[in-house]
Amino acid sequence: MKAAVDKPDVSLLKEKARQLRVEILKMLAEAKSGHTGGSLSSADIVAALFFYKMRHKPHDPKWIKRDRFILSKGHAAPVLYAALALSGYFDSSLLKTLRKIGSPLQGHPCSTKLPGVEISTGSLGQGLSIANGIALGLKLDGSGSRVYCLLGDGETQEGQVWEAAMTAAHYKLDNLCAFIDNNGLQIDGHCCDVMHIEPIVNKWEAFGWNVIDIDGHDMKAVVAALNDAETVKGKPTMIVARTVKGKGVSFFEGKVEYHGLAPSREELEMALKELGK
């Protein structure tokens, strides 16, 4: 199976993003713990990747020609699990086991427990370095596969991210495309109060990256950015996606307390109604 098609059905991708949000909320409410805000804010990005752009085979997770996805912000594991389930890597009934003892759906992705997870992540700041290594290896092998990496905006306060930024530009990793889920909030508050990351576009450009600045909830813009990134030669691409923490549920949106707070049963019912479920 090849997920990507020449002409994307934007309405279908929007529906996939809605389904991801529904599954995210259901599994978090069942687990009674986990990260709501950043999982919801990145749903449109992940939907575009898994159901449009990336080449992958759910029945053959180690397919040699597959594109790779690295969830650097590993605490947003629910959005990855939902995408894998809806893609067909495993039965959706497994989602209800999130964070339970013995479940392959750990609080952070574990590559030895769940098919479709490329690498175990969780310690923030490391994902882009891992993506660099994979992208460089694919280049050396002459592979046409691409690597996609999703970072959080608060995560870019980590020094290792900027070492990785220099490395990717130095080795001209044009088979690497990264996203920043730029929702402006992290666990301790607003990013601008904890450690200001702006001007984020200028910084990545200064490090030698091709940078695309978009509304991360505009599916047409996400798709166009992914298509543009594939045409760039000689440098990696960073897509700065301006998003809203908790996107899709009015009473979660822009609320820092829902960074790591799961919805209650009552909140779940209200949220699913908003999402049309």
SS3 272: helix
Question: Which residue in this structure is represented by tokens 């046409």?
Answer: 144
2 domain-assigned: no
pLDDT in tens, 198-213: 999 999 999 999 999 9
- Residue 1's pLDDT band (boundaries 50, 70, 90)? very low
- Across residues 163-178, what is the average pLDDT? 98
121 domain-assigned: yes
Number of domains the chain is built from: 1
| Interstrand relation of 185-186 and 176-182 (parallel, antiparallel or unpaired) | unpaired
172: left (phi over 0), alpha (psi -120 to 50) or beta: left
155 domain-assigned: yes
233 domain-assigned: yes
34-37-41-47 Cα dihedral, nearest 10 degrees: 20
146 domain-assigned: yes
96 domain-assigned: yes
* Mean of per-residue pLDDT scores for the chain: 96
270 domain-assigned: yes
What pLDDT is recorded for position 6?
A: 60
Cβ-based neighbours of 141, under 8 Å, separated by 6 or more: none
Cα separation of 218 and 44, whole Å?
A: 8
79: domain CATH number is 3.40.50.970
Q: How many CB atoms neighbour CB 40 within 10 A? A: 31
The whole domain housing 92 covers: 11-274
pLDDT in tens, 31-80: 999 999 999 999 999 999 999 999 999 999 999 999 999 999 999 999 99
Q: What pTM does this model have?
A: 0.95
Cα separation of 261 and 263, whole Å?
A: 7
Share of the chain above pLDDT 90, in %: 95
Residue 5, pLDDT above cutoff 60: no
- Across residues 10-35, what is the average pLDDT? 98
- Residue 3's pLDDT band (boundaries 50, 70, 90)? very low
Cα distances from 148 to residues 68, 191, 238, in angstroms, run 6, 24, 10
221 domain-assigned: yes
What pLDDT is recorded for position 152?
A: 98
- Residue 246's pLDDT band (boundaries 50, 70, 90)? very high
